[in-house]
Amino acid sequence: MNKALVVAALSLAAASHAAAQGLYKCKLDGKITYQSMPCAKGGEVIDVPPPPSAAQTKAAQTRAQEERARVEQLAVRNRAQREQRAKEEEAEAKAAAANKAPSKADCDKLRTRREELYGQRNDNRRNANLPAMAETQKAIDKLEADYTKAACGPLD
């Protein structure tokens, strides 16, 4: 029994010594090689840490999952903030466009179209085409409302 105990202790010692063995970095003729045995001339020992335990691996996996979840939450929150900012900027742009004074060309177009409609209405009156004259008058009224909304100035 003592013999079996000694053999078991020696095999454990040999196994732990083999696991604790370092890695050797050797230089020979300008070439670098790595080996498990000591170098013939010069070289250095590179300590290789033992692999992580099962508990350490599990803890690292748990931390990685938590980090992924946190990153996903941040991405969702950032996306929502970007979308909200875009909506606010769009609303500001619409408000600015609504408050923007019309260009002179826009007002000139409205004025020209108004003159054309008055001409059509007068032609319809001369031709006694009352339904067409009524439709033209509706178009004139709408155009004058647009002209007023556009703040193009007084109607002549």
Please compute the mean of the pLDDT values over residues 63-80 and round it to a whole number: 94
C-alpha distances in Å from residue 110, one per residue of 7, 28, 79, 151, 154: 107, 91, 43, 11, 12
Strand 44-46's sheet: what is its strand order? Answer: 31-35, 23-28, 44-46
Residues 46, 72, single domain; the answer is no
Please tell me which residue, 58 or 110, carries the higher pLDDT value. Answer: 58
Of 27, 50, 73, which closes a domain?
A: 50
Residues 96, 124, single domain; the answer is no
Q: Identify the DSSP state of 47.
A: -
Residue 149 pLDDT > 90:
no
Lowest-confidence range among 53-57, 74-78, 100-104, 109-113? 100-104
Of the chain, the percentage scoring pLDDT greater than 90 comes to 24
Lowest-confidence range among 14-23, 70-79, 112-121, 123-132? 14-23
Q: Identify the DSSP state of 50.
A: P
Q: 74 lies in which domain range?
A: 64-100
Q: What is the pLDDT of residue 21?
A: 62
Residue 118 forms part of a structural domain: yes
For residue 132, give the H/E element and its range. helix 130-149
For residue 23, give the H/E element and its range. strand 23-28
- pTM above 0.85? no
Residues 119, 88, single domain; the answer is no
Of 27, 23, 25, 49, give the one whose Cα is nearest residue 36.
Answer: 23
Domain count, the chain: 3
Residues 1, 41, single domain; the answer is yes
Residues 29, 8, single domain; the answer is yes
Residues 96, 106, single domain; the answer is no
